Amino acid sequence: MTERIPASAPPAGPSRGLLRLLRSDLFKLWHRPLTWGLIAVSLFFVLAAFLTLIYTVLNHASAVLPGHLFGGSVGLGNIIIQQLTLGRRVGEFSCVALAGAAVGVDFSSGALRVVLGRGVARWQVLLSKYLALCVFAVFLALLMTLEAALLAGFLPVLVGGAPGLDLLSAGDLGSILRADLGLLENWVGVMALGVALAIVGRSAAVGVGGGLAYLIAEDLGGRVLPAITFETHVAVFRELTSILYSANLNAFFYHSIPIRLAAELDFLDGVMPTPMVGTAHSLIVAAAFLAALLLISGALFARQERGS
């Protein structure tokens, strides 16, 4: 005889159901090798940024002197944020890949219908995915910042006169926190892109591949299109380029890091600097971009035949 345990949990209310789904999604991310692989790659690039920094400082010893980029009262903050700048770019690729994979696998494996077949609402499923990915983004930002700070602590050992962690000030912490916000704004945006593409294509491959392709295309387009439109001397092309690339994915981040680092952004991570729009403008554009992606993906997700 089968043992009957009255184990069925009572039907959950919306918030409780969402919390259960979020725990399940975090559990799946935690146990997914891809998550840790992407974290490892992202952290490796922070290390690579640090090695580049050492190379630069060893060749330009004056860089760590007061008044220069990595010296004085703002030097330590700049050293940490310089590493995060390259980390952001890799994190961007990691986030879009994980977002596409996390949502796409529900379609490709059919696991979505198991949850929906238990009466879970579709909006809860999608919202919990977004929330779990946001938790991942915060986790990755924290890990990167911690790594960058720890590596910065080694700099005085390698380069005499470089600022050490003992000089960490409230101003440095504020700068680092602002840079982290810039990372998160950027990553949340690209994750929404990865999720939307996975829903449109109903597969992880479309979410991951499409997301990565967009990021690469944006970088290339940012360099090639302005040159082309300049050559054509057509006003409408210039306007289009201005709309598409003056406030792109990188605009808010540009304003979230110290101005001297922002001026070097293109040199640091290959991203087109976007000095022509202000913080509010860039944030509004990012919010509009995010809202459009959430609306499109949400509407598509709700309309798709359940679990198919």
Partner 1 sequence: MVGSGNSVPPWANIGGLADSQTAIRTEQLSKSYRGKQVVSELNLEVGRGEIFGFLGPNGAGKTTTIRMLLNLSTPDSGSVELLGGGSGRGRAGVLARVGSLVETPAFYPYLCGRDNLRALCLVLGLPPRQADRALEQVAMSADGGRRFSTYSLGMKQRLGVAAALLGDPELLILDEPANGLDPFGIIQMRGLMRELAAAGVSVFLSSHILAEVGQLCDRVGIIREGRMVLVERVTELLRRDASFVLETDDPEGAARILRDLPGVLALSRDELGRLRVEAPGLQGDQLLRPLVTAGVSVQEFRRHEPTLEEIFLRTLGANAQGG
Which residue, 125 or 268, has its beta carbon nearer to partner 1? 125
Q: Which of the stretches 30-38, 68-76, 235-243, 259-267 binds partner 1 when contact is defined by CB under 8 A? A: 30-38
Q: Which of the stretches 6-14, 80-88, 149-157, 235-243 binds partner 1 when contact is defined by CB under 8 A? A: 6-14
Say how far apart CA 204 and CA 108 lie, in whole Å. Answer: 7
Asked if 303 interacts with partner 1 (CB under 8 A), we say no
Asked if 13 interacts with partner 1 (CB under 8 A), we say no
Least CB distance to partner 1 at residue 194 (A): 17
Torsion angle (degrees, nearest 10) of CA 196, 200, 203, 209: -60
Among 40, 61, 114, 150, which residue sits at the site for partner 1 (rule: CB under 8 A)?
Answer: 114
Q: Are 294 and 194 in contact (CB under 8 A)?
A: no
Q: Are 163 and 157 in contact (CB under 8 A)?
A: no
Size, binding site for partner 1 by CB under 8 A: 40
Which residue, 122 or 238, has its beta carbon nearer to partner 1? 122
Say how far apart CA 152 and CA 22 lie, in whole Å. Answer: 35
Q: Are 304 and 106 in contact (CB under 8 A)?
A: no
Q: Are 107 and 203 in contact (CB under 8 A)?
A: yes
Among 64, 103, 112, 198, which residue sits at the site for partner 1 (rule: CB under 8 A)?
Answer: 112
Among 47, 54, 116, 167, which residue sits at the site for partner 1 (rule: CB under 8 A)?
Answer: 116
Among 40, 51, 58, 111, which residue sits at the site for partner 1 (rule: CB under 8 A)?
Answer: 111
Helix (H) / strand (E) containing 111: helix 111-116
Among 47, 121, 134, 205, which residue sits at the site for partner 1 (rule: CB under 8 A)?
Answer: 121
Asked if 97 interacts with partner 1 (CB under 8 A), we say no
The token duo for 208 is 């991951």
**99-101-104 Cα angle (round to 5):** 105
Say how far apart CA 148 and CA 90 lie, in whole Å. Answer: 14
Least CB distance to partner 1 at residue 36 (A): 11
Q: Which of the stretches 5-13, 57-65, 139-147, 184-192 binds partner 1 when contact is defined by CB under 8 A? A: 5-13
Asked if 37 interacts with partner 1 (CB under 8 A), we say no
Of the chain, the end-to-end C-alpha distance in Å amounts to 36
Least CB distance to partner 1 at residue 306 (A): 4
Among 109, 169, 232, 279, which residue sits at the site for partner 1 (rule: CB under 8 A)?
Answer: 109
- Give Cα separations from 179 to 25, 74, 282 (angstroms): 27, 14, 15
Asked if 15 interacts with partner 1 (CB under 8 A), we say no
Asked if 76 interacts with partner 1 (CB under 8 A), we say no
Among 115, 179, 257, 272, which residue sits at the site for partner 1 (rule: CB under 8 A)?
Answer: 115
Which residue, 14 or 66, has its beta carbon nearer to partner 1? 14
Among 120, 155, 176, 190, which residue sits at the site for partner 1 (rule: CB under 8 A)?
Answer: 120
What values do phi and psi take at 76, rounded to 5? -65, -45
Percentage helix, strand, coil for the chain under 3-state DSSP, each rounded to 5? 80, 0, 20
Say how far apart CA 21 and CA 226 lie, in whole Å. Answer: 45
Say how far apart CA 263 and CA 11 lie, in whole Å. Answer: 54
The number of C-alpha atoms within 13 Å of 179 and in the hemisphere containing its C-beta is: 30
Residues at the site binding partner 1, with contacts judged by CB under 8 A: 1-2, 4-12, 16, 20-21, 23-24, 27-28, 31-34, 105, 109-121, 305-308
